[in-house]
Structure formats: C-alpha cells, structure tokens
Amino acid sequence: MKKRFLCLANSRKYTNRCIAGIELADKTRPGFKYDLVESEKGPRWIRPVSGQGHGEVAAALVEHIHLLDIVEIDGCVAHPQGFQTENVLFNGCPPSWVDRIRPDPALLEKLLTRNEPLLFGTAARCIAKEVCASLSYSLVLIHPQHVHFHHETSFSGKPQVRCGFLYQNIGYDLPVTDIAFLQRHSTDLSQLDNHDDLFFAVSLGVEFEGFHYKLIAGIIECNG
C-alpha cells in the first residue's frame, strides 16, 4: 500500500533520521491538487519507520527529502507503538519525491493541530512514560510566538540548540533536532529571534531514562 504525505519533520534520530508529515489523499474537490486526511485533532500525521532499533530511517534513504516536499512511500503497514500511533512500516526503498508546496503562512495555518492548549497535555519539557500511556498521538504542528534560539549543553555534555517560545501563552524551551535548520543556522541563531512566521513540528520522542522528551523536529520558515 502506498502512502503520500507532506513532509513537516526531518530530524536527527541517533545517527539516522526521523521523517514525518501530514497524510494526503487524491483530490476530490475542484481546484485542489490534494486532499488532507483528517483525524479528530486535525490533519492526520504519518511517520515512516524501519523495523530496526527505535524505528529510525537510514539517512541515505531520505537525503533527497526536505520540509514541504510531498513524497510517497510504498509497502506501508500500520505499526503503532504505544502513543506513537502515526508509525507505519514501509518497504525500505527511498521515498519518491512527488511535489513541493511553498511556505505560505495562510496554508500552514490550515494544517495546525486542533484542541491542543498544552503540548501533549503538559507544559513540561518531558513526560513520564506512565503518563504517556494515556496519549494517542506524538506529533503536532504549531505556530509559536516570541521565539528565541540559544545554545546549551545537553545531558550528555554535547552542544545543543534549543528554542524558547510561547504557545497558547505558555512558555516552553525545547531542543531542536531539525537537520537542515541546524545546518543553516546553528552558527547564527539571533536572526530568527521573534520571527513571526515560523511553524514547528513538535514530536514526543522515544523513552530516555523513564521519560519521553518533546523535540522540535521540523522548523518551517515563512517570509514574515
């Protein structure tokens, strides 16, 4: 079975990648190229995973994929793992590039996750695994405000880019794992401070020492 999706997250996962996006269907409305596949929280997400390790996808398979690309994967089988209900196993072939959309704030506003006053139900950086058992999703798209990027040292002693921001008037400070963003901006983060038209794909990661951490897995930059 083939699945088509709009890529909104392309992030580092161990030494490989995690890609994810919003599922698309063939158009049914005149004037539209694609239809969104909907869920109760808004557009439905999909995360292709491998059958190895923590489901990370080999970097070589997705080097040609960028945020806002529309891609297809084949041989898909639903593979939910706890709250990561978006996971699908695929055949391990490189995703096929289909199309690309422009970074239009008005369009991206239509893709935002609905009914999400707190990120995954809390304002904390991480969630205990016992609490995550009550969740049924692990990916959201948000439009943050008052963003501020900064460098910090991770628990493992490595340099880390983080972003402080407001969402629904609640403050957060989360690590950035978007590969392309880090390559473009890690040496000069101040240029994006208080940028009005950034959209974040936020993911709830795999367990680490009893907790699941919130990660900014995709940053879409629109012209403010």
Per-residue pLDDT tens over the stretch 155-207:
677 788 999 999 999 999 999 999 999 988 877 887 777 778 999 999 998 88
Binning pLDDT at 50, 70 and 90, where does residue 129 land? very high
What is the token pair recorded at 67?
């945020």
Helices (H), the chain: 105-109, 129-132, 179-185
- Model pLDDT, residue 172: 97
Higher pLDDT, 211 or 40: 211
pLDDT of residue 29: 65
Neighbouring-strand partners of residue 220: 199
Burial of 175-207, coded b for 16+ CB within 10 Å and e otherwise, reads bbbbbebbeebeeebeebeebeebbbbbbbbbe
Distance of CA 170 to the CA centre of its chain: 20
Q: Are 223 and 31 in contact (CB under 8 A)?
A: no
What is the model's pLDDT at position 40? 81
pLDDT in tens, 76-122: 899 999 999 999 998 888 999 999 999 999 999 999 999 899 999 99
Across 19-33, 44-58, 111-125, the highest mean pLDDT is recorded for: 111-125
Residue 190 backbone phi and psi in degrees, to 5: -65, -25
Whether residue 123 is predicted with pLDDT greater than 60 in this model: the reply is: yes
Q: What is the pLDDT of residue 195?
A: 79
**Is 60 exceeded by the pLDDT of residue 224?**
no
Mean pLDDT value of segment 133-150: 94
pLDDT at 13: 74
pLDDT, position 31: 63
Q: What is the pTM of this model?
A: 0.92
pLDDT at residue 61 above 60? Answer: yes
* pLDDT of 97: 94
